[in-house]
Structure 1
Amino acid sequence: MWETGFMSVLKDVLVRQFAAHADRVAVGDASGSLTYRELGAAAQRFAEAIDAWWKTDGLVGDAAHSDRVRVAVYAANSARYIAAYTGLLHAGMVPFLIDPALGAEEITAIVGECGIDAFVHDRELPGEFTQCDTTTIGSLQVTRVFAGSGRPRPALLGTTEVCRFTSGSTGSPSCIEFSGTAVHNAAKAWQEATGLSEGERVLCFAGIFNGLAFNTSLLPAFLAGAALWVPSGLPSSGHVIRFLKQVKPTRLTGFPALYESLLRRDADIPELANLRSALSSAAPLKAETARALRERYSLSVCNYYGVAEAGPLTYDPEPSPDRGVGYPLPGVEFVFAGGADGIGDESLVGEIRVRSSSMGSRYLNAPGVLEGRLDADGFYRTGDGGLLDSGRLMLRGRVGKAINLGGRKVDPVEVRAVLAECGATESAVFSVDKRNGDPMLVAVVAGSDGLTGDELRARCLRRLAAYKVPERFLVVDRLPKTSLGKPRLSAARQLFAEMQGGPAV
């Protein structure tokens, strides 16, 4: 393995769990399942293969032997993804878990800003960087890359074992360094608070790169000796039901859209009765959705709260849409800036600040930025408003301006900047609800004669991840302005509402 002298907390934890639960099912997908013993063997094979490939003459190149190899995992959920991730930890390399929905410019930025050495991927790599050599390991492609930007390679912290990304709400995604201890603490806190136990079956439809899956389903399942099922593809109701029938899970993990799709089915879904718990996060599950699930299926969905930089933060064993997003997990402390102690009284709502034992260390590609979001006592400023009521955290909207689209944060300032590059002289970017209740990103824009929504969409898709590109555009002669000369958002919303049936392409 890679000779760095680095002691991996996560590797040691996984090796112990693979041995302790050897004959139990560890992970599965549409193609089958692996026991803990088989997953451990697959991880070891992957580690040996990628280590040998990397050390082949001519491949080591600019990454010094004393520096751990940085490998971006750019793929959909699968058992082979889990084997590759654990294999990278075995090899002493650092996995960077990337949203496969990110576009070419964002991937290019990540490669250059984070000093990525190689990709493990199940699709073509987008972006402008040199791809030097490709092989196949465990049915996944592995490609060495070089940014060629001439920028210094940022040094990793000595304790960093895995890197994950924010959803890029301000420019390119921020890369969060996590120590193995922080990742392990998050998993232990979640297992303890939720009572996840040996032999349970966790069906997870969130991408492993996302905190919803990474913090609540990946390592927690392995700590408990549970089975983790990771289907790929969109969680349509039919897709979800097929796995409910096949796996008979005790736990279901997914974003609000999954639960809303189940409710839209006319036929009953008796398999939901087998669930001990259901989990949602990232975007708030609508109260009417939660109530309908309880009335129709006696299914109570826990709408937990977590922050990319601080890990999972709350859980409620008896969730209710009227009782917030749960109690603080072990190792989690809240304070409420501007809202005194934030206890009970709605007048005391303040910005939520949090300190946890699962905090990220820093942003690798934005030195000082994460540290700047910590107060003097080490509490992270979340930008969310809230308070505690009977011990449960109650959310009260955003203090900042990010738009939450199904768990992915979109900064309207970033989208407006790209629209300006694409020909819009003025723009307003906001979200509206579709008829089915899902949020949709829209833009009202003014520009040169002949500018169309189709043109703007095509140009934006070359610069932004698809989820950051407005679904609908309304092109107007000019936007209403405030007294300061800025586009008036409320008027832009009204224009869009009036033209819903008109030429909003």
Structure 2
Amino acid sequence: MNPVTDWLASRARLTPTREAVVEVVTGLRLTYAELDRRVNRLATALQRLGAGQGDRIALLAPNAVCYLEMLFAAAKTGTVFVPLNHRFSVPELDYVLSDCSPHLLIVHDAFAEVGRALSSKVNIPNVLSFGEYAGLIEDGQPETYERVTGDMEDPWAIIYTGGTTGQSKGAVLSHRAITWNSVNTVVSWGLTEHDVTALYMPMFHTGGLNALTMPVLHAGGKVVIGGDFHPVQALRLMEDERCTIALFVPTMHHLMTESPEFAAMEFSTMHTFLSGGAPCPLGIYEKYWSKGLAFKEGYGMTEAGPNNFYIHPDDARQKIGSVGVPMFHNQVRLVDEEGQDVPTGSTGEIWIQGPHVFSGYWNKLEITAETLVDGWLRTGDLGRRDEEGFHYIVGRKKDMIISGGENVYPLEVEHVLAEHPGVSEVAVVGLPDPKWGERVTAVVVLAAGTELGGDELKAHCTAKLAGYKIPKQFHFVAELPKTSVGKIDKKQIEKGLTRSAG
């Protein structure tokens, strides 16, 4: 047996008075010792409510300290934390809860109505309001829980995927996976107790919990939890809290860098801006670099980390668009349809191996068997590797367009279109076509005050793209649909275009 370490108790022992977490909306600030005491009281309450080893405990809430309290209490009691995507509809949440059958559900006041609807549909032994939750961890409550010594392979969390490619799946993250993702990140990225991160990524998502939050806490740094994302507020928070590193999705970066406040700020304490969740338009790199700021991309997914590559900011300037080389404790392969490694410079599916990889999908053995093959995680993403070993993400395998027998990678076309100063956002998809099989189609959001047509954008593409890659159709829209974590939702775009064509 490989016993689980109580992370928080260890941190509270080593750095008890160091500030661990800040909740901007409420003004709550907790040291490691204070956070540990709150979690101990919650662990006591969980056991009094009958939550035993392996039982699921679910949370429906906006970003808040309660996510960390629930996660660390699960580690102490052997329960399994299930953060719920609060942007899901009631039927989607109904499915998730029916799938994971939690022993306990905590519902924040902001989602009280949704909680009542779910309580009438799903049989959950204990459903508590946020006021009742707060009462469990108030000062004066006992800390008499019985520590459960689990194994590193035991589940620590189940994070449900966004469901943009089908029904949502519960990715089971063991103590081993979360711990090794953190170790890998701290070692490879050089995080220390002096790091402070601003958190605006949703905490029901692996990017919110595992990309920087858990590694920074592991290293003894500080996590500053923002409220709803507003670009100016996020910029000011990073200055006020003297943040050193932060992760945002490309849409957030776009909004921040377009604001006048961005141009005026110095970011004297920030050593790295990170982009993740989706490939980043290359123009955003330039906006950070023009201010002398370090900017780079990462790559990951719920099932793997989400951290898998490292690139030094200096290399990011030379290898623009690259996510770098595999991190210290994981391996990466690029393979063809037969599972054979592709040569340097060729495109292949990204396969990942390492102790940070998930255990499988909850209640989905067949899909798990298709995804985990001979110890490797088949990501469904496409990438290429250059002669120096630097990796570039090409796009999702399912997004690849086959037009006239030629492979078209939407990301390449999107990067070219995004270089046009009149383009604010763009998505490229393939639509059915009787002649070409699939028709390369671009959906464009124009920059404010810009008048632009499809012919001008085609001419812009001509110098940089082969003819078969140039979109045959352009659609201009006010905004692009986004997923619950801020990614451009191509599934919704394709549905909308198909309906309008019909």
> TM-score, length-normalised on structure 2?
0.72
For residue 425 of structure 1, what is the aligned residue in structure 2?
Answer: none
Question: SS in structure 2 opposite 1:198?
Answer: coil
Q: State whether residues 177 and 364 of structure 1, in contact with CA within 8 Å, keep that contact through their aligned partners in structure 2.
A: yes
Amino acid at match of 2:226: P
Report SS of the residue matched to 2:446.
Answer: coil
2:207 to 209, 212, 224: 212
SS of the aligned residue for 2:323 comes to: coil
Q: Give the superposition deviation at 1:158.
A: 6.5
* CA–CA separation in structure 2 for the residues paired with 1:387 and 1:478: 35
Corresponding position of 2:250: 256
Match of 2:265 in 1: 270
User: Which amino acid in structure 2 is aligned with residue 20 of structure 1?
Assistant: L
Counterpart in the other structure of 1:304: 298
Contact 1:73 1:121 in 2 (8 A): yes
Q: Aligned pair in 2 of structure 1 residues 81, 46: CA closer, same or farther (>3 Å)?
A: same
Q: Match of 1:166, as an amino acid? A: T
1:343–1:47 Cα change, 3 Å: same
Query: For 2:214 and 2:227, how far apart are their aligned partners in 1?
Result: 19
- Percent identity reads 20
Displacement of 1:132 in angstroms is 5.6
Q: Deviations over 1:406-455 (max 9, x none)?
A: xxxx9x99xxxxxxxxxxxxxx9998332259xxxxxxxxxxxxxxxxxx
Quote how far apart the aligned CAs of 1:217 are: 1.7
Over 3 Å counting, the alpha-carbon distance change for 1:478 and 1:237 in structure 2 is closer
Distance 1:141 1:433 in 2: 46
Say how many residue pairs are matched: 402
Unmatched 5+ stretches in structure 1: 1-5, 144-155, 414-427, 438-460, 480-505
Equivalent of 2:446, from 415, 435, 439?
A: 435
Q: What SS does structure 2 have at the residue aligned with 1:249?
A: coil
1:247 and 2:258 matched: no
User: Which whole-Å CA distance do the structure 1 matches of 2:19 and 2:33 have between them?
Assistant: 9
Give yes or no for contact 1:28–1:229 (8 Å, CA) kept in 2. Answer: yes
Aligned to 1:283, the other structure's residue is in SS state coil
Q: Does 1:129 align with 2:125?
A: no
Counterparts in 2 of 1:162 and 1:476: CA distance versus 1, 3 Å? closer
Q: Distance in 2 between matches of 1:477 and 1:169?
A: 20
What letter corresponds to residue 129 of structure 1 in structure 2?
V
What amino acid maps onto 2:244 in structure 1? T
What are the superposed Cα offsets for residues 314-343 of structure 1, whole Å, 9 maximum, x if unpaired? 121222362511221122111111296445
CA contact (8 A) 2:104 2:125 kept: no
Q: 1:396 to 1:68 in 2, by over 3 A?
A: closer
Deviations 1:13-72 (A, max 9, x none): 2211121111100011211310000000111111112322x13xxxx8xxxx6x532111
SS at structure 2 position matched to 1:23: coil
Superposed counterparts of 1:230-241, under 5 Å = 230-234=225-229, 236-241=230-235
Q: Distance in 2 between matches of 1:394 and 1:471?
A: 25
Kept in 2, the 8 Å contact 1:310–1:358? The answer is: yes
| Match in the other structure for 1:293 | 288
**Alpha-carbon distance in structure 2 between the residues aligned to 1:393 and 1:477:** 38
Structure 2, unaligned runs of 5 or more: 137-150, 401-409, 415-426, 431-438, 449-482
Q: How far apart are the structure 2 equivalents of 1:34 and 1:186?
A: 24
Counterpart residue type for residue 105 of structure 2: F
Secondary structure of 1:95's counterpart equals: strand
Quickly say closer, same or farther: Cα 1:471–1:393, change in 2 above 3 A: closer
Indicate conservation of the 8 Å contact 1:23/1:35, yes or no: yes
Aligned counterpart in structure 1 of residue 103 of structure 2, from 117, 121, 128: 117
Distance 2:367 2:254 in 1: 36
Partner of 2:61: 75
The Cα of 1:134 is off from its aligned counterpart by: 3.9
- AA aligned opposite 1:380: L
Equivalent of 2:361 in 331, 342, 363: 363
Please give the alpha-carbon distance, in whole angstroms, between the structure 2 residues aligned to 1:478 and 1:326. Answer: 41
Does 2:342 correspond to 1:331? no
User: Are residues 1:176 and 2:175 paired?
Assistant: no
The CA distance in 1 between the partners of 2:195 and 2:343, in whole Å, is 36
Query: Which residue does the alignment assign to 1:391?
Result: 389
> SS at 1:197's partner residue?
coil
Q: CA deviation at 1:194?
A: 0.8
Displacement of 1:176 after TM fit? 1.1
Q: 1:22 to 1:470 in 2, by over 3 A?
A: same
Measured in 1, the distance between the counterparts of 2:95 and 2:187 equals: 38
- Equivalences for residues 43-58 of structure 1 within 5 A: 43-52=39-48, 54-55=49-50
Whether the aligned pair in 2 keeps the contact of 1:244 and 1:271 (CA below 8 Å) is no
What amino acid does structure 1 have at the position aligned with 2:160? Answer: F
Distance of 1:141 and 1:400 partners within structure 2: 44
Question: Among 275, 284, 299, which residue is 2:279 paired with?
Answer: 284
In the TM superposition, 1:177-196 aligns within 5 A as 177-196=172-191
Report the counterpart of residue 482 of structure 1 in structure 2: none
The whole-number CA distance in structure 1 between the counterparts of 2:199 and 2:257 is 18
Residue from 89, 99, 102 that aligns with 2:88: 102
Of 37, 40, 48, which residue of structure 1 is paired with 2:36? Answer: 40
Q: Equivalent residues in 2 for 1:10-49 (5 A)?
A: 12-30=6-24, 31-49=27-45
Tell me the secondary structure at the aligned position of residue 331 of structure 2: strand
Aligned residue for 2:461? none
For 2:135 and 2:98, how far apart are their aligned partners in 1? 18
* Offset of residue 119 of structure 1: 1.4
Q: Tell me which moved more, 131-140 or 179-188.
A: 131-140
Cα 1:250–1:112 change in 2 (3 A) is same
Aligned partner of 2:11: which letter?
Q
**Contact 1:47–1:87 under 8 Å retained in 2:** yes
Alpha-carbon distance between aligned partners in 1 of 2:440 and 2:321, rounded to the nearest angstrom: 32
Deviation at 1:173, TM superposition (A): 1.2
Q: After TM superposition, give the deviation of residue 469 of structure 1 in Å.
A: 5.7
